[in-house]
Structure 1
Amino acid sequence: MATTDAPLTLTRPAAPARAGRSVVWALIAASLAVKSAGFGWDFLGYYVATAHGTTAAGASMTLFGVGWCLGQAVAGQLTDRAGQRTALVVMMIFAALSCVALTWAASLLSLLIVSVCLGLTMETYRPAVSAAINTHIASAGGRARAQTALYWSINVGIALCGGLGGYAAHHYGYRPLFLANAVVCAAFALLAWRLLAARKRTSAGDAADVTYRQVLADPTLRWIAVVSVAAMVCAWGLVSVLPLLMTSDGLPPTAYGTAMIANTVAVLVLTPPMTRLLIGRGETLRFSPVVVLAAGTAILGVGIGFAAYQHTTHGYSIACAALVPGEVAYSIAVGAYLSTAAPDGAVGRYQAVISASSAVASLPPLGIAIALNAGGRPLVAALLAGCALLGVAACPPLSRALRRASSDH
């Protein structure tokens, strides 16, 4: 099927292909390391609950989510205005300091303040790394592959962090993990300082002066943000819905670990062949990103809906693996969108808006818990399927907006 949504015509500075790709892959590897060592982010709830109970943990995670949304906006703005190197160095140093502060915080008030700070730093490297991909790789196909690899590194990192952190916390406690998180963040800041060039001064009125209001005036970004929220509600079901369902079945934490391992193995196995299928080895995309996005969103809805009816470790593991094609398709489609539709000087903010969808999608667990108690699993499955249908329904308007934007260029 040929691509029907033609990319916007963009002017990109030429970059030495081999050197540029080396920088990009080093940043993606660093992103994998930071996500794999993201113990401060992933174990915050457990740490607060241990000291102050589950209600306090819920409050801390809510504040964390608020900080997460704000942090993406700040990171996108900083990337486009101050440059990729400055953004990565500043945000990763702030992340390191937040993780160190978590080891010292003891009172509930201090932990709540640190929770906001940790949320502000959650995945704030993504806008800068996405912008670096668009800067250092010239071809649409190459940029889409690199953006997909960035999403892949995040998915694998989440699974590694959960597995490694759970074992290490059992034997050594949480504070050494938080310090390790701080060290890796600081190392990422140092790597960015060494690899990336400082932003050149530009004249007033250039793309760096674009505001979020102007960015959000792009109908393509508004529509893909709607799809992203819907898709990520289903994808985040792995860490929000699944524990609720498995707990209601009386399954132990090891069952959840087994299901997550199944998801991780499927990600490792399926990502390379799906990337070759959807992008190919050439420099152009084989399929319309909107079609891939719609298919991925539908698969995520079906997969998490299927999970809602499971009651065994084996069934949940199958459901977690079934979600992976949707995760990969979503990653490829969003990567293709960023690589073609985000204008120079605004890539950081475009990525920030899309990344913020993950933060918004992390907020529904309370509603899912209420639905589980009120209507049981059929209601949970219906709500999640309805969310996926909303995302699929937003794809045709997204396609039309992309075609209009293309014709304007």
Structure 2
Amino acid sequence: MTTAPTIITPPVSPAMRAARSVVWTLLASSLLIKAAGFAWDFLGYYVADGLGYGTTAAGAALTAFGLGWCAGLASAGALTDRLGQRVGLSLVMALSSLACFALAIAESFPALLLVSFFLGMTMEIHRPAVSAQINATIDSEAGRTRAQSWLYWASNVGIAICAAAGGYLAHHYGYKALFVVNGLACLGFAAVAYRVLTPRTATDSADVPAVTYRQVFADPSLRWIAVAAVCGMTCAWGLVSVLPLLMTDDGLPPTSYGLAMLANTITVLALTPPLTRLLVGSGDTPRYPLVPILACGCAILGLGISLAALQHTTLGYAAAAALLVPGEIAFSVALGAYISTHAPRNATGRYQAVLSGATAVASLPPLGIALALNTGGRPLVAALLVGSALVAVAACRPLAKALRDTQQEQTHPLPTPAP
């Protein structure tokens, strides 16, 4: 954490100091809400093992969660851009707490599918709002890139901590107690957002022209980075969607899953500061272009998760989880750089929602992975994950062209026709 002071440049006024303090508070809250995200992290284990429905049913519940996630993020981006961060975070995190409490009492399979969908709708609501706050507060491109990268880092570390702690707690106290804790954490985040964020005024809304998702998706670079993000996140998110299915198939307990995620957490803590410093630098502009970083990150993610698919021991899963970390860091730096340098200020929420939606779409494959595991075994699962990584790397080529074209248009705009 020694690089933390370099994320935001020294404040120039009390107002700016207060605004940047809000960013730090939101980053810390993002980590904590993920660290307490037991409802999602252990949804697969709860359905398959805790209630005894099996891996296919667990994959269906995780898929329902992913569908809800996609729907919720689209609403989150629009809500952030139109009504402001305070409304989005406070209201929907409170609704997320209700979904967590509902999961603690739902036991029938139809009820579990319904609760999983609504849990997915609200779980990632904070991401667009926090990204919009970062872009509105920090001046330099590199500073925003570092902060956006640390937002991804906070989420990844929180998820890993959740798995490590949750495995122990689930073994001793049961799954339902974890879901209640998750609901209380969501309520706490809602209270923090309401306390530290200021409401958007009518003047603020009038000064910024409204945009639509149709306008946002007219940006070819966003379309291509979304493709790369979906395929790359399919590999990265395998830690919390594919790994539980594989380890359950091996008969390993939740504590083994917690140990694998602990290995991932320790590696993340050790490598994030030096790799972020290496890839972003300490100046006002990022050191390296984002496309090569994204391609390398996706390739490493594909290698790591495909190796995980071929493991059968706790040690093997832990080693594969640690191998994923450099790819996670490079991936998060690249997406952070894109949001900080290419997202318009009046559409940051929607841009971040699209990229966060890549994570949501990447959470949909568990049902397919479960079916592949039952029909083709581990080699088929590994082949599917490698194929996803290759598609992500291939999408980086047209992404680079789209970014070059956008830069040329900004540098040499077309002349305005004479009246």
TM-score under structure 2 length normalisation: 0.87
Q: State the partner residue of 1:230.
A: 231
Identify the range of structure 1 (318-327 vs 191-200) with the bigger mean alpha-carbon deviation: 191-200
Q: CA deviation at 1:206?
A: 6.4
Query: Alpha carbons of 1:214 and 1:202: their partners in 2 closer, same or farther (altered >3 Å)?
Result: farther
The CA deviation at 1:350 is 0.7
Q: CA deviation at 1:75?
A: 0.6
> What secondary structure is seen at the aligned counterpart in 2 of 1:193?
helix
* Residues 56 and 292 (structure 1), Cα distance of their counterparts in 2 relative to 1, 3 Å cut: closer
User: In structure 2, what is the equivalent of residue 3 of structure 1?
Assistant: none
- SS in structure 2 of the partner of residue 220 of structure 1: helix
Residue 39 (structure 2) aligns with: 40
Aligned equivalents of 2:370, 2:106: Cα separation in 1: 30
Alpha-carbon distance, 1:378 to partner: 3.6
* SS of 2:202 mapped into structure 1: coil
What secondary structure sits across from 2:131 in the alignment? helix
3-state DSSP of counterpart to 1:282: coil
Question: Where does residue 169 of structure 1 map in the other structure?
Answer: 170
1:372-387 pair list within 5 angstroms: 372-387=373-388
Q: Name the residue aligned to 2:202.
A: 201
Correspondence for 2:414? none
Aligned-partner residue type, residue 394 of structure 2: A
Shift of 1:284: 1.1
CA 1:80–1:208: 2 relative to 1, 3 Å = farther
Is 1:389 the counterpart of 2:398 in the alignment? no
**Aligned equivalents of 2:14, 2:339: Cα separation in 1:** 18
Matches within 5 A, 1:148-163: 148-163=149-164
Quick one: distance in 2 between partners of 1:394 and 1:15? 44
- Asked whether the equivalents of residues 298 and 389 of structure 2 are also in contact (C-alpha less than 8 Å), the reply is yes
* Counterpart residue type for residue 23 of structure 1: V
State the Cα distance separating 1:52 from its structure 2 match. Answer: 6.7
Q: Secondary structure at the match of 1:394?
A: helix
Alpha-carbon contact 1:15-1:136 (below 8 Å) kept? no
Moved more, 297-306 or 234-243: 234-243
Displacement of 1:351:
0.8
Which residue in 2 is equivalent to 1:266? 267
Name the CA distance, whole Å, in 1 between partners of 2:251 and 2:106: 33
What residue in structure 2 maps to residue 125 of structure 1? 126
In structure 2, distance between residues paired with 1:376 and 1:99: 33
The one-letter code of the counterpart of 2:337 is A
User: 8 Å contact 1:304–1:384 — kept in the other structure?
Assistant: yes
Q: Residue 30 of structure 1 aligns with which residue?
A: 29
- Alignment of structure 1 residues 172-251 onto 2, 5 Å: 172-202=173-203, 207-249=208-250, 251=252
Q: Which amino acid aligns with 1:27?
A: L
Deviation at 1:253, TM superposition (A): 4.2
Does structure 2 retain, via aligned residues, the 8 Å contact 1:75–1:124? Answer: yes
1:120-168 deviation line (CA, Å, top 9, x unaligned): 1121100101111101111111111111111111111112212222322
Q: 1 CA distance for matches of 2:124 and 2:214?
A: 22
Contact 1:103 1:175 in 2 (8 A): yes
Contact map agreement 1:80 1:208 (CA 8 A) in 2: no
CA distance in 2 between partners of 1:78 and 1:162 (Å): 30
Once residues 40 and 33 of structure 1 are traced to their aligned partners in structure 2, the CA distance between those partners, rounded to angstroms, is: 14
Matches of residues 42-61 of structure 1 in structure 2 within 5 Å?
Answer: 42-49=41-48, 50-51=50-51, 53-54=53-54, 57-61=58-62
CA contact (8 A) 2:226 2:355 kept: yes
How far did residue 15 of structure 1 move? 9.7
Map of 1:11 onto structure 2: none
- State the alpha-carbon separation in 2 of the partners of residues 313 and 106 from structure 1: 29
Task: Note if contact 1:15-1:137 (Cα within 8 Å) is conserved in structure 2.
Answer: no
Post-superposition offset of 1:384: 1.8
Query: Which amino acid counterpart does residue 330 of structure 1 have in structure 2?
Result: F
CA distance in 2, matches of 1:372, 1:15: 57
Q: Distance in 1 between matches of 2:107 and 2:248?
A: 29
In the alignment, structure 1 residue 88 sits paired with structure 2 residue 89: yes
Q: Counterpart amino acid of 2:99? A: S
Structure 1 residue 373, shift from structure 2 partner: 4.5
Letter in 2 for 1:348: G
**Which is worse superposed, 169-178 or 276-285?**
169-178
**Matched AA of 1:193:** Y
Letter in 2 for 1:113: L
**Aligned-residue CA RMSD (Å):** 2.4
Structure 1: stretches of 5+ with no match in the other structure: 1-13
Matching of residue 280 in structure 1 with residue 281 in structure 2: yes
Q: Is 1:352 aligned with 2:349?
A: no
Relative distance call for 1:194 and 1:208 in structure 2 (3 A) is farther
Give the counterpart letter for 1:171 in structure 2: H
Which residue is 1:320 aligned to?
321
Amino acid at match of 1:53: Y
- The 1:15–1:373 alpha-carbon spacing in structure 2 relative to 1, beyond 3 Å, is farther
Give the total of aligned pairs.
396
Give the share of equivalent positions with the same residue, in percent: 62
